[in-house]
Amino acid sequence: MVIDGIIIVIAYLLGSIPSGLIIGKAFYGVDIREHGSGNLGGTNTFRTLGVKAGMAVTIADILKGTAAVLLSILLEPGIHPLIAGIFAVIGHMYPIFAGFKGGKAVATSGGVLLGYAAPMFIIIILVFFACLYITKYVSLSSMLAALVSVIYACVIRDLPLIIVTSLLAFFVIYRHRANIRRIVNKTEPKIKWL
């Protein structure tokens, strides 16, 4: 039980590392919370600081979720590795190191799936970029990829994965409420680099 608690705390703290804030301030002298959407995630970093910074933040955010899952697998606690992943995602959304105002759960959720089911991760990345190429909406592509992860989990009949992907998809869609309204109103920004 003690190791379970330690894993959960470490997973949350990993998720709480504000990659966008760190990279923005350390390399650009910019607090990305004061620009664009004010979000700490990769999309706002892309828009605010450019491709290199956006890629760095996205990769770092993915690895937070992956690290939490792999740590749990390596230490073999009583809790399922996906539980550690959920706490990393919660940390990303509500980071203790950034005033509990974080990202939208997309990259870190993807990292959780990379650590637990790499083939699923590859499929949702392909779905994400296919949708992004067609629509130019990062938000819509993120939500569709989240829904596809649930379908994948159902197809392979992995009950813990079904539960966790459903929860992660809820997080992603809930955190994109404003984006959904803008898509409906045709005011959601489109990417220009793809």
Residue 67 and residue 80: Cα distance in Å, rounded?
Answer: 14
pLDDT tens string 37-68: 888 999 999 989 999 999 999 999 999 999 99
Any domain includes 42? yes
Spatial contact of 175 and 89, defined as CB atoms under 8 Å apart: no
Number of domains within the chain: 1
pLDDT tens string 114-151: 999 999 999 999 999 999 999 999 999 999 999 999 99
pLDDT at 95: 97
pLDDT tens string 72-102: 999 887 899 999 999 999 999 999 999 999 9
Tokens 């409906």 sit on residue: 184
Q: What confidence tier does 1 reach under pLDDT thresholds 50, 70, 90?
A: confident
- The residue segments making up the domain with residue 7 are 2-184
Any domain includes 118? yes
pLDDT at 137: 96
Residue 95 and residue 87: Cα distance in Å, rounded?
Answer: 11
pLDDT at 194: 74
Assess whether pLDDT exceeds 80 at residue 33: yes
Assess whether pLDDT exceeds 80 at residue 193: no
pLDDT at 76: 80
Any domain includes 67? yes
Any domain includes 94? yes
pLDDT at 37: 85
pLDDT at 115: 97
pLDDT tens string 155-164: 999 999 999 9
Q: Which residues contact 186 (CB under 8 A, 6 or more apart)?
A: none
Any domain includes 192? no
Any domain includes 194? no
Query: Position 16: which residue type?
Result: S
79 is written with which tokens?
A: 């809790």
Residue 20 and residue 42: Cα distance in Å, rounded?
Answer: 7
Any domain includes 189? no
183 is written with which tokens?
A: 């898509």
Any domain includes 130? yes
